[in-house]
Structures are given as structure tokens and as C-alpha cells.
Structure 1
């Protein structure tokens, strides 16, 4: 049976070589004055700005409600919380609509023929193209951002769910029928478990897309979040804060991807043959 690969110090060292080399070259170019610090500040300046961005601005902010008034008084922490809140809520809305529709389209040819033309027309349209309509329909604030994120998460989950259901091995279906399995048992015990790897892969892609869409939507429709803060920094030409915000987005995205990957590994242990 295969086992999960654990990271060794040698693997971690090899993975850190290129990032360290890029940071060292970046620092050298900035220190020698070959790069305008207004255009591209040094890594040291970005780190200092990131630390100030992280630190609480004050001990208590009555403008925020509940425990946020105390726990998230730091600007970056509040922005990160705002972005993650929109990502999670928008993803749940989009995936919650896509999963049952995908299961129906995958198992019922009539439902597939009914919805597939509309899906194929709407699927190539990027979520960003819906921004004017989102603002027109929902105004400003969280609703348009959540609407856009839901669209971004909807189609990856939908298409992977359909593919997973339609690619269930026929041997499993015939074996279940020969054993006298009914339609509900066939769906719950055969089709759904066999399609789960596809569904989880779609969820991973969907939440990654949701994280991209939230940054774009925050630059246009809301006044909080990491995307809004990056746009604000651009207006004042704070390049160090822009890069600090970008690195924060990257770290959050990495954390989300690692968490989802570990969840997939845990849920699909039976499929991959991993030891418990």
C-alpha cells in the first residue's frame, strides 16, 4: 500500500533555494540603487511595511462589532478576515448550487440535455464580466462580491461533479445491479463514492478561483479586504504596502490549498489506499 510522503529537511532546503536566491538578488539590486525604490522597494522595506500592516492600530475600535472590535484591530488581520469571509460564503453558495445540479445532470440524461446548452454558453464568461451587473443588481458591499465569488466557484464544482458521475466504472454499476441494489443504494453506495475524487478536485479548483475573484471584486465593489487595501496603496504609490498585500494573499492562498489538499487526502484515504 502507498504511503503519504513526509517532508524531509533536505526537501525543505531544496524548496527554499530558489526563493532565497530571488530575495537575495532583489535585495542586492535595491541596495545598489539599480531599481527605483518607489517602483520596487527592497525586501527589507516590504517586510517592515508588512509588520506595520500586521500590528494592531489601536487596542479597541468601537466601529467594529463584537469580538472583532478587540481581536482584529490590526488592519491586515481585519482585511484578511473580510476576504476569507467572502471567499467561504461565496464558495458555499456556488458549490451548494453546483453539487446537486451536477449530480442530477450526471445521473439523468434528460436533465443533462436540458441544462447543458445553457451551461456551455455561460461557462466561458469570466466572473469579472459580471461586475457591472453585480453592482447594478446588488449595489456595493458584500452581496455583489459574494455573487461574483459564487459564480467563480460554481462552474468548476459543477463540471467536475458531472464528469465524476458520468465516469463511474461500469463494472461497479453492473456488480451492484447483480447484487440487487436499488436506485437509491446505487447512488449512495456506488455512484457518489466513485465520483467523490472528481467532486473534491472541483472544490479545490473552485475555492482557488473564488480567492482570485474576491480580490478583483474588493477592488471595485467593497471598501475592505486585501484587494481594497492594495488598490488604496496604489493611489498613494505605497509600493511596499502593495507587495506586502500581495504576499499576504499568496500566504493565505497557500494555507487554503494545503488545508484542502490534506482534507482531500483524509477523505480519499480509501480511494488512494493510504494507511489509516
Structure 2
């Protein structure tokens, strides 16, 4: 009952926005080219979801449905996000643990990190195309950069801010350096690391849309740019809504994974 009430409260504002939007569109306050009605967007989204060609004989309904533009574009974008994020996070996590646990390594690498960190991934687009050409590789590169720094900085912060009480208690018990790192520092830093993972995935999803407008010929970003060329505002908004729903689903999944992995953390409510 409580979850149902929370869901109803969460959907109240979006529903009101849709009602006002539909009423203004039907009243002619907006041009259909500039801002189509939600009903028109919903129709276009449905057409975007299903394939245009008729179902072939012997083809299953599921395979036919998934051959539409929207499932294909969604899968392409999600694939790039996952691969790029794994590359970026896979490089950031060990470096962040090393910089957080070793003061000398932190002093050595931190100046370079602080120089590169403010540079937005979009600024790397010319280099990405020059180095990797077109297709998925430049997208992977840009997404990896977008995911790298949130994971890196949160990992460093998590390791460096481990409560000194834990470290002193472990030393008094005779814990060695490796056990200190794996059994004390790493678990204590896990909430920070998972927060960085959540931010990194969100950043990766933003970057993938930009990269698809530049270097590839499929994906949600590419389809939005294509719709702009033909002034298909309804398809643009349909693509944007799809991006929002997919981002919400990813963030919800990561949030639940965090809650599951941090069951022991006293700050979480069960």
C-alpha cells in the first residue's frame, strides 16, 4: 500500500504536465511542428517501436517486434553504454584504489588527473574520430572517458576517508597491509565506490547520445538527429522520452544493486 501511494505521488506531476501539454496543443497554442501533442508523440512512439514491414511467414512475433527501429536503437545505445562504462570503470577502479591507499601514488598522479578531469568528453570528439574513425570505437572511447572520472574520484575519496578508528583497531589486532586493504579499507570505501558507479553510468548514458550524433548510424542519438533533419518533432520527443525511461530503468537497477550490496551499511533502511 505504501509503495502504491508513493508511486501515485510520483506520477502526479508528470500526468498533470501531460494534461496541460495536450490541452495547450489542442487549443492551438503551439505549432505541431514545434511542439506536437502528447497523443501525437505516443502514436509516433508506437510506430517507432514496431517494424514497418509486414511479418514474414515463419517469423516469430517476438523476433518481428524486436526488428523495429526503437528496439534496435535502444539495444545499440545500451550496448555502447555497457562496453564504454566497463572500460572506463575497469581502468578507474584500480587506479583510484591505488591513489587512495598510497600517498606517493596520489602525489604522482593527482596533478594529471586534475588537469584532465575538467575537460568534458565532448571536447574529445575530434580526437576520437581522428584516432578511431567512425563506428563504435570512438563511442566507446568517449563513454569510457565520461565514466572514468566519477568512478576514479569517488574511489579515491572513499579510500582516503576511511575512519581512522577502523585502521587503528586493525593495527592493534596485528592485521597485515594486504588484509588491511582488502578487509578494512575496501569495504569501508564501498559506499563511495558504488556512488561513483551510479554517477558514472549516468554520465556514460549522456555521452552515448552525443557520440551517436557524430560517429555512428544507429542508436537513439542518431535517430534524434535524423528526425531533426526532417523536422519530425514527434519522433524527436519520442526518442527523448525513450532515453529518459531507459535512464530511469538503469538508475533504478543500479540503486537496487547498491542497496543489496550495502545491506550491512547502517545508514540504509530495510
Give the TM-score normalised by structure 1: 0.92
Q: What value does the CA root-mean-square deviation take over the aligned residues? A: 1.8
| Residue 171 of structure 1: aligned partner | 165
Asked whether the 8 Å contact 1:58–1:73 carries over to 2, the reply is no
CA distance in 2, matches of 1:57, 1:205: 37
Supply the distance in 2 between the matched residues of 1:14 and 1:271 (Cα, whole angstroms).
28
Is 1:202 matched with 2:196? Answer: yes
1-side partners of 2:103 and 2:28: how far apart? 65
Alpha carbons 1:127, 1:213 under 8 Å: kept = yes
Pairing partner for 1:52 from 27, 30, 47: 47
Alignment deviations for residues 42-92 of structure 1 (CA, whole Å, 9 cap, x no partner): 00000000000001234689xxxxxx9767311000000000000000000
Per the TM alignment, residue 111 of structure 1 is displaced from its structure 2 partner at its CA by: 0.6
Q: What's the secondary structure of 1:27's corresponding residue?
A: helix
* Distance in structure 2 (CA, Å) of the matches to 1:31 and 1:265: 44
- The within-5 A match list for 1:28-39 is 28-39=23-34
Give the match for residue 134 of structure 1.
Answer: 128
- 1:1-276 to 2 correspondence within 5 Å? 7-58=2-53, 72-272=66-266
Between the aligned partners of 2:53 and 2:199, the Cα distance in structure 1 is 38
Q: Match for residue 59 of structure 2?
A: none
Equivalent pair of 2:50/2:66 in contact (CA under 8 Å): no
- Tell me the SS of whatever aligns to 1:272: coil
In 1, Cα distance between equivalents of 2:107 and 2:54: 58
Inter-CA distance 7–89: structure 2 relative to 1 (3 Å threshold): farther
Question: Helix, strand or coil: the match of 1:8?
Answer: helix
Q: Supply the distance in 1 between the matched residues of 2:130 and 2:66 (Cα, whole angstroms).
A: 31
Q: Deviations over 1:247-266 (max 9, x none)?
A: 00000000000000000000
SS of corresponding position for 2:33: coil
**What is the CA–CA distance in structure 2 between the aligned matches of 1:194 and 1:144, rounded to whole Å?**
35
The answer as to whether partners of 1:60 and 1:69 remain within 8 angstroms in 2 is no
Structure 1 SS opposite 2:265: helix
State the match for 1:3 in structure 2: none
Distance 1:274 1:26, change over 3 A: closer
Separation (CA, whole Å) in 2 of partners of 1:14 and 1:34: 29
TM-score, normalisation: structure 2:
0.94
Structure 1's unaligned 5+ residue stretches are 1-5, 62-67
In structure 2, stretches of 5+ residues that fail to align are: 57-61
**Structure 2 vs 1, CA of residues 152 and 60 (structure 1 numbering), >3 Å: closer, same or farther?**
farther
Q: Any conservation in 1 of the 2:51–2:65 contact (CA below 8 Å)?
A: no
Does the CA contact (< 8 Å) of 1:59 and 1:73 recur in 2?
A: no
